[in-house]
Amino acid sequence: MRIIGVNIPDNKRIEYSLPYIYGIGKKTAMDVLRDAGVDPKMATKDLTPEDISKIQGILEKSFKVEGELRQIVRQNIGRMKEIKAYRGLRHARRLPVRGQRTKTNSRTVRGNVRKTAGSGKRKVELK
């Protein structure tokens, strides 16, 4: 099933399927379902076309989701880089932005994923 151009799983309950949409979390999904008058425990495949159109209408009218939200986030990061704010510089250098340490952690952000090395000893074959 597709809502706002996103495939959401059919076999899960609708309260767990809606957060597959970028910008919709569990709380927002519950609020949308309450406003639409849809039972959150209902499976996604059991929704009627009217329910789907209600949910889609509420999402389009009240929330910025998917492409529009991604574009806004990208613009905000670009603005921070442009004015040379600290957070913008951290984004530009691909370092952690929110105050995390970098001496030992943040390997995934920096792209320096290191493999764990063994003890250096060779295995000795017994004869």
Residue 120 clears pLDDT 70, i.e. is over it: no
89 in a structural domain? yes
122 in a structural domain? no
Residue, of 83 and 107, whose pLDDT is higher: 83
Q: What is the pLDDT of residue 118?
A: 67
Same domain, 20 and 59: yes
Same domain, 90 and 52: no
Kindly report the pTM of this predicted structure. Answer: 0.70
DSSP code, position 84: T
Q: What is the pLDDT of residue 119?
A: 67
6 in a structural domain? yes
Structural domain that includes position 49: 2-63
50 in a structural domain? yes
Same domain, 7 and 59: yes
Q: Read off the amino acid at residue 90.
A: R
The two structure tokens encoding residue 43: 């499976």
53 in a structural domain? yes
78 in a structural domain? yes
| d(C-alpha 52, C-alpha 37), whole Å | 11
